[in-house]
Amino acid sequence: MEEQYPQALAKYLKAQGKSKADLSEFHRLLSHTNGPVIPIVNTVDEAGCPDNFTYINQNIYSDEVPRPCTPMFWCECTNGCCDGCECTKERNYDNRGLLLSMGDERIVECGPLCKCGDDCVNRVVQKGRKVVLELRRYPHKGWGVVAKQRLKKGTFVAEYVGEVITSDEAENRGFKDKAQGQTYLFDLDQEFVNDICDFSIDAKTHGNISRFFNHSCGPNMRTRSIYVEHRDPRLHRLAIFATRDIKAGEELTIDYSPSAVEGESVKGDPCHCGSSKCRKFMYF
Ligand SMILES: C[S@@+](CC[C@H](N)C(=O)[O-])C[C@H]1O[C@@H](n2cnc3c(N)ncnc32)[C@H](O)[C@@H]1O
């Protein structure tokens, strides 16, 4: 797909001795997505493809991280897992696949051993991204992601995937990343109190479109812990859902510090989310 590029910007870059951003390598990388095609738009500067980035569709595990064990759970449902399913207890999704609860509780989907079929209502995240997204360059924030269609509250948008690493390794990498101004680390702490966790996901060199979701202090999406193949709380997967109805054209954002209190001045890098609830700084 041809990227949009206004004449004025092209003229400005030419006057600066710079050229139009080359997005061809970026298009090639994003074509590895297993969801709808992702257009790329840069009307801001000449940034192109990030260095040393590989597009993946599922988590990869570093050598130091144990592989989650094989599942010991399954349901025997033949009714599409609508009622009394051993996996869900309470239903996770309505018949359109929209998440029913916006709370913090874990989501357990039917897994590979379950007797239900592909049409089971409890198989949403495992089917991958279905929504149409666009990658767009923003002033002060770098790349961000825009919804190219209307999204209903509860829509599964994408899974946050990357390299699963130990927390010690995450701390080392986080230190360097912060010095370079950008970090792509996500702690797998959604099942633990006091932010304690053993593992994190780093999407800096291996990741998918979720790696480009920017922070907002008034976000329109949130992450939830999700289990499909196993139920090891240390190694849960991270699914991202719309927390309200979203219009086509809106930037899709998550709160990088969801436990921060509104009005509290948190430390970190300056935030450019533009929300009326902005805490002025991002906390990493
Ligand atoms: C997970 S990445 C998001 C994608 C990133 N914008 C990019 O170009 O690759 C997180 C980084 O994006 C930038 N960022 C995200 N949200 C921001 C915000 N609200 N204000 C300023 N910078 C932001 C920060 O540099 C942050 O470290």
Q: Average model confidence (pLDDT) for the chain?
A: 89
Q: What is the pLDDT of residue 2?
A: 40
Closest ligand 1 atom to 144 CA? 6
Q: With bands split at pLDDT 50, 70 and 90, how would you rate the model's confidence at 110?
A: very high
The CATH superfamily assigned to 51-126+151-254 is SET domain (2.170.270.10)
- Selected residue with higher pLDDT from 112 and 99: 99
Mention every residue, 6+ apart, whose C-beta is less than 8 A from residue 246.
147, 150, 151, 155, 220, 252
Whether residue 189 is predicted with pLDDT greater than 60 in this model: the reply is: yes
Q: In angstroms, rounded to a whole number, what is the distance separating the alpha carbons of residues 95 and 223?
A: 21
Interval between CA 74 and ligand 1 midpoint (Å)? 39
Residue nearest to atom 4 of ligand 1 (CA): 212
Q: Nearest CA to 158 among 207, 107, 114?
A: 207
Question: 220 or 87: which carries more pLDDT confidence?
Answer: 220
Q: Is pLDDT of 282 > 90?
A: no
Residue 214 CA, ligand 1 centroid: distance in Å: 5
Distance between CA atoms of residues 26 and 203, nearest Å: 16
Q: Find the helix or strand (DSSP H, E) in which 24 lies.
A: helix 24-30
Q: How big is the chain by its Cα radius of gyration, in Å?
A: 20
Q: Whose CA is nearest to atom 26 of ligand 1?
A: 182
86 C-alpha to center of ligand 1: Å? 40
As a whole number of angstroms, the distance between CA 42 and CA 52 comes to 20
Q: What is the pLDDT of residues 40-97, one digit of tens each?
A: 999 999 899 999 999 999 999 999 999 987 667 899 998 888 888 989 888 999 999 9
Most confident of the following: 148-162, 169-183, 190-204, 269-283: 148-162
- Ligand 1: residue of 30, 52, 182, 186 to mutate (most ligand atoms within 8 A of CB) is 182
pLDDT given at position 84:
83
**pTM of structure:** 0.91
CA of 252 to the centre of ligand 1 (A): 12
Backbone angles phi, psi at 69, to 5 degrees: -75, 165
Ligand 1 pocket: which residues have CB below 6 Å?
140-144, 181-184, 211-212, 214-216, 271-273, 282
Structural domain boundaries of the chain?
A: 51-126+151-254
Q: State the closest ligand 1 atom to the C-alpha of 274, by its place in the atom list counted from 1.
A: 19
Residue nearest to atom 15 of ligand 1 (CA): 214
Strand partners, 138: 142
Give the ligand 1 atom nearest the CA of 272.
20
Q: Whose CA is nearest to atom 25 of ligand 1?
A: 182
